Homo-oligomer: A and B are copies of this chain.
Amino acid sequence: MSGRLAVVGLGPGSPEQMTPQARHAVAAATDLFGYGPYLDRIALLPHQTRHASDNREEISRAGAALAMATEGRHVAVVSGGDAGVFAMAAAVCEAIEHGPAEWRAVDLEVVPGVTAMLAVAARVGAPLGHDFCAMSLSDNLKPWDLIEARLRAVSAAGFVIALYNPISRARPWQLGRAFEILREHLPAATPVISGRAAGRPDERIAIASLGEADATVADMATCVIIGSAETRVVAREGLAPLVYSPRSAGRIST
């Protein structure tokens, strides 16, 4: 008997930014899997069982959830933000590809959500208003050389860059090194936005220039957005400045 598996993006944290589709998918589950702090956002119903795991156990969590779905349970695997952006949907697909044949028969639904960069961008204006990219800065799953090459490629080509997983206790120097690389390709005045817990009571948003950006303000849950050479900062009296990337572009640095 094949059950159902929903991989659900809970949004950046505020219930105001969780879609009804995500709320319904969570409510319909008998079993909820995820990283503990994401599961903590959900008030369990009486018929629901919670399966919390550490945030680096993505593949084993995906396998456990798939195994339970094949037993006929209705399983939800939750992620913060969007389910498919540096989150659990890719781990579930990977587990399906390499797992037992019956996992391919599971009724799989991926429920999208507002990913962190969109919530952070909204708090300062529209820094993602033109071509942009999203990169994980974690070198747990890819070589650091590749990350450096990608940072150089996209900054030279004029993309705004959103960095996920910018720093952790085990990876303390990577964000500082990323700023160094980007300073080779972008003006010192390029705006850098660090956003954490956007839309939540403990929200922390900071705007700096690339020349003065300090990697120590970020943690694992921070999304860091680095503008392009065309990104603008608009001062406002008595209000936070606006940061936006114009809809038109004309230059490319080489």
Interface residues of A (CB under 8 A from B): 9, 11, 14-21, 24, 58, 82-87, 89-94, 96-97, 104-105, 108, 110-115, 118-119, 121-123, 125-136, 141-143, 146, 149-150, 153-154, 156-159, 199, 232, 234-239, 242, 244-252
| B158 adjacent to A157 (CB under 8 Å) | no
| B136 adjacent to A134 (CB under 8 Å) | no
| B125 adjacent to A154 (CB under 8 Å) | no
Copies of this protein in the assembly total 2
- Which 9 A/B pairs are nearest by Cβ-Cβ distance? A90-B129, A133-B133, A93-B244, A89-B126, A153-B157, A141-B248, A110-B122, A16-B21, A90-B126
Question: Distance in Å from the Cβ of A120 to the closest Cβ of chain B?
Answer: 9
Pick 19 A–B contacts, CB within 8 A, sort by A.
A14-B21, A16-B21, A17-B112, A18-B20, A19-B19, A21-B199, A83-B126, A84-B118, A85-B129, A86-B247, A90-B126, A96-B234, A112-B122, A131-B150, A142-B249, A143-B250, A149-B157, A149-B252, A153-B157
Question: Distance in Å from the Cβ of A134 to the closest Cβ of chain B?
Answer: 6
| B249 adjacent to A84 (CB under 8 Å) | no
Partner of A232, one of B97, B250, B252: B97
| A126 adjacent to B19 (CB under 8 Å) | no
Q: How far apart are the CA atoms of A121 and B150 in the complex, in Å?
A: 22
Q: Which residues of B contact A110 (CB under 8 A)?
A: 121-123, 125-126
Please report whether the interface of chain A is mostly helix, strand, loop or mixed according to DSSP: mixed
Question: Distance in Å from the Cβ of A40 to the closest Cβ of chain B?
Answer: 20
Of all chain B residues, which has the CB nearest A118?
Answer: B112
Of all chain B residues, which has the CB nearest A141?
Answer: B248
Partner of A134, one of B20, B84, B91, B133: B133
Q: Which residues of B contact A104 (CB under 8 A)?
A: 234-237, 239
Q: How far apart are the CA atoms of A108 and B122 in the complex, in Å?
A: 10
Q: Which residues of B contact A154 (CB under 8 A)?
A: 133, 153-154, 157, 159
Q: How far apart are the CA atoms of A102 and B157 in the complex, in Å?
A: 35
Q: How far apart are the CA atoms of A66 and B47 in the complex, in Å?
A: 50
